Structure 1
Amino acid sequence: MNTKHWSSTLGTELDWVEEEYLSLNLGDKRLDKRLKKIVSVMTKRGGTSLPDIFGNWSDTKGANRFFQIRKYVMIR
């Protein structure tokens, strides 16, 4: 399991995310920040389970909670 804390990986990885999601507005700045972190980490370490991607329980739980927010799910 990758034990590196995801917030320590932010830097240039987050720069492109900031640019790509410049107009992001989920109605809560904390959610905007969390999504940007999730995107940054998942693009760097994707293709595996959430615990392996995020490296610790608190970050994994935070990502999982974010994905469970139903009001941001697009229904087609």
Structure 2
Amino acid sequence: MVTESTPWTQTEFEQLDLGDARLNKRARLLMERMSAEPTASVPQACHGWGETIAAYRFFDNEKVQWHSILEPHWQL
């Protein structure tokens, strides 16, 4: 159940498994940031330079595959 204090990504990506809890957490955060302003660039969507760099590292990570991020949606 989603409450006002529960980000929608916790529910939507509950089954997300990128092989590392930190990657799962980063994916959820990026989904929240980018969905809040879908037309924003990565630096505009992220909150600060550190978060922007972390986003680019996430996108460049070989362990992160698009099908792994979409898999929780296919399981529904």
Q: TM-score, normalised by structure 2?
A: 0.72
Q: Which runs of 5+ in 1 are unaligned?
A: 1-11
Taking only aligned residues, the RMSD between alpha carbons, in angstroms, comes to 2.3
2:35 is the alignment partner of 1:34: no
Higher relative contact order (CA 8 A, sep 6+): 1
Amino-acid identity (%): 31
Kindly provide the amino acid, as one letter, of the partner of residue 37 in structure 2.
R
| Cα distance in structure 1, aligned partners of 2:65 and 2:45 | 22
Q: Is the 8 A contact 1:54 1:60 kept in 2?
A: yes
Q: Out of 14, 25, 45, which is 1:22 matched to? A: 14
Kindly provide the amino acid, as one letter, of the partner of residue 31 in structure 2.
V
Question: Secondary structure at 1:71's aligned position in 2?
Answer: coil
Q: TM-score, normalised by structure 1?
A: 0.72
Q: What residue in structure 2 maps to residue 53 of structure 1?
A: 45
State the number of aligned residues: 65
Q: Which runs of 5+ in 2 are unaligned?
A: 68-76
